């Protein structure tokens, strides 16, 4: 097996006296969709923010695409940041910019890219996520929740990243909209060869798109594996999560 594209070792996250993660290890393999799940307070979003540099761990090592991001090398971080995209909950779009202008924001970091080319690339990304051409000129307040998420995904894909981080991508969507977004994520990941780090609580998403699942519990990654392997884990939370009525319903619809 080739080296993981994301490698975490000994991560400790602490807020005051509250320890969220302690000696946490995790590998994410190239081209996989990894679903990260856990109970309330286990630090799913904190873990994602730690990898992308929005949260500094008290201890541990973070390697992404072979670069050590805990060494404080700004050049290494700049290289890696150009190779990942992030979609936060509800898209986290700039409210004063149109969808097209939002998608153009990361493209402005590309040296020598003319405004016309930047606009054309933004329109291409908007189309890739299933939004019509009229969406580019709209502001976030004029969009539905599902459309805002798609626009946020378009911005995350602007620089053709190798890795995409998604934080609760289907939260707040109705079942039909969530299923459509699941299919979009799966299709884009396979077509573009993306590695996807997906924080979710949605069992339907886990069954529909994830190659593996990482379970956060007891301040660490308790276990990783396929959905089928999760069903055999002898741990109370894992058992209840993957054997409850919602899991049975998701499995039936997968």
List beta partners, residue 87: 166
pLDDT of residue 187: 96
CA distance 76 to 64: 10
User: Using 50, 70 and 90 to split pLDDT, how confident is the model at 71?
Assistant: confident
The rounded distance, in Å, linking the Cα atoms of 28 and 211 is: 11
- Portion of the chain with pLDDT greater than 70, in percent: 94
pLDDT at 63 over 90: yes
Residues 6+ apart with CB under 8 A from 64: 5, 6, 7, 51, 80, 84, 163
Q: What is the dihedral of CA 207, 246, 149, 85, to 10 degrees?
A: -40
| Sheet architecture: strand order including 84-87 | 84-87, 163-167, 195-199, 33-38, 212-217, 220-225
pLDDT single digits (tens) 224-241: 999 999 989 999 999 888
Residue 189 reports pLDDT greater than 80: yes
User: For residues 187 and 23, is the Cβ–Cβ distance under 8 A?
Assistant: no
Asked if pLDDT for residue 249 goes beyond 70, the answer is no
pLDDT of residue 2: 74
pLDDT band at 79 (very low <50, low <70, confident <90, very high): confident
CA–CA separation, 193 and 31 (whole Å): 6
pTM of the model: 0.92
pLDDT at 226: 95
What was the pLDDT predicted at 174? 92
Q: Average per-residue pLDDT in the chain?
A: 92
pLDDT classification of 3: cutoffs 50, 70, 90: confident
pLDDT at 251 over 80: no
Residue 73's pLDDT band, with cuts at 50, 70 and 90, is confident
Average pLDDT of the segment spanning 159-180: 94
Is the pLDDT at 133 greater than 60? The verdict is yes
> What pLDDT is stored for residue 227 in this prediction?
92
pLDDT greater than 70 at residue 248: no
Confidence of residue 252 (pLDDT cuts 50, 70, 90): low
- Whether residue 253 has pLDDT greater than 60: no
Structural domains of the chain ordered from first start: 6-83+161-250 (3.40.50.300), 97-160 (no CATH)
Distance of CA 180 to the CA centre of its chain: 17
The β-bridge partners of 197 are: 34, 165
User: Do 1 and 29 contact (CB within 8 A), yes or no?
Assistant: yes
| Partner residues linked to 213 by β-bridges | 35, 225
Q: Residue 91's pLDDT is what?
A: 66
Structure tokens at 17: 């006296």
* pLDDT reading at 110 higher than 70: yes
Give the whole-angstrom CA distance, residue 47 versus residue 50: 5
For residues 48 and 224, give the distance between their C-alpha atoms in angstroms, rounded to a whole number: 16
Residue-wise pLDDT for 29-44, tens only, equals 999 999 999 998 899 9
């Amino acid at each position: 097996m080739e080296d993981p594209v994301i490698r975490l070792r000994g991560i400790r996250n602490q807020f005051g006296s509250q320890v969220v993660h302690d000696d946490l290890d995790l590998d994410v393999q190239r081209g996989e969709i990894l679903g990260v799940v856990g109970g309330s307070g286990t630090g799913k979003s904190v873990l994602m923010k730690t990898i992308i540099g929005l949260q500094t761990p008290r201890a541990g090592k973070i390697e992404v695409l072979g670069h050590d991001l805990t060494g404080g090398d700004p050049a290494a971080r700049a290289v890696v940041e150009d190779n990942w995209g992030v979609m936060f909950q509800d898209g986290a779009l700039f409210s004063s910019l149109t969808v097209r202008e939002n998608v153009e924001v990361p493209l402005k970091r590309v040296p020598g890219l003319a405004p016309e080319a930047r606009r054309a690339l933004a329109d291409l990304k908007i189309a890739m996520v299933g939004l019509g051409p009229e969406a580019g000129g709209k502001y976030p307040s004029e969009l539905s929740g599902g459309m805002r998420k798609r626009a946020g995904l378009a911005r995350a894909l602007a620089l053709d990243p190798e890795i995409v981080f998604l934080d609760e991508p289907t939260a707040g969507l109705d079942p039909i909209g969530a299923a459509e977004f699941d299919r979009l994520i799966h299709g884009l990941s396979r077509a573009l060869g993306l590695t996807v780090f997906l924080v979710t609580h949605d069992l339907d998403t886990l069954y529909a798109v994830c190659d593996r699942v990482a379970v956060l519990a007891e301040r660490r990654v308790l276990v990783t594996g396929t959905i089928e392997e999760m069903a055999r884990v002898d741990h109370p939370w894992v058992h209840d999560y993957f054997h409850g009525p919602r899991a049975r319903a998701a499995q039936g619809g997968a």
